[in-house]
Amino acid sequence: MMARAGSRGTHQAVDESRRTELVLAAARLFRLNGYERTTVRELADAVGLRSGSLFHYFRNKEEILLAVMANGIQSVIDEGHALMLRYEQPAERLEGLFRLHMSSLINGVGGDAMHAMIYEWRSLTPQAREQIQQLSTAYEQLWHRAINDVVALGLVQGDPAIIRKQVLGGMNFTVRWYRPDGRLNAEQVTRELLRAALPGLAQHLGL
């Protein structure tokens, strides 16, 4: 019994690893080719599977798209919670969230996920959209808390809800125009966006 239990655990770990690999590969393909134009065969080929084997991990192609979006949001939620525990000062927390979001968009899975959310949202069923909306709301709560704190200190002026929408919307839009070989590198783009979006905070931080 012990051996069989261990074997089941090993198979589950392998399945989960392959599933994650497939989600990441799908995210890249959806960004490069678009969700509708990406075929099941291309998804399977990207991770060395036969087309039919893909459905051992996901019931259909839409479920893969849902996983792409959810994976990207969950990754920044987890890192955001860790960041809020790591920093005590409100200014550092908000700067940390800003840099985390930009790093995810530029260097991490968040960029592919956000690209999918912008361009492929219509491909999700209403039920799937609700799942993503719940994750988005959980992530926005981190920002809500961080922005409220800096507004209370007078470091940022304005309505916290409007500030959150403006800041996140501006950052998310970078998936449409940012290029790694552009005039500014990733750090410079992040700093300039922070200065433009939250000038009071940037001044306080000496940026």
Region for residue 154 given its phi and psi (left: phi exceeds 0; alpha: psi -120 to 50; beta: otherwise)? left
Q: Are 101 and 110 within 8 A, CB to CB?
A: yes
Q: What is the mean pLDDT of residues 32-61?
A: 89
Rounded Cα distance between 55 and 18, Å, is: 12
Tokens of 104: 């995810």
User: What predicted TM-score, i.e. pTM, was given to this entire model?
Assistant: 0.83
Largest separation between any pair of C-alpha atoms in the chain = 63
Write the pLDDT tens digit of every residue in 100-109: 999 888 887 6
Domains of the chain and CATH, by start: 60-205 (1.10.357.10)
Share of the chain above pLDDT 90, in %: 60
Structure confidence at residue 90 as a pLDDT band (50, 70, 90): very high
**pLDDT tens digits for 130-177?**
999 999 999 999 999 999 999 999 999 999 999 999 999 999 888 888
Question: So what's the pLDDT on residue 2?
Answer: 46
For range 104-122, the mean pLDDT: 82
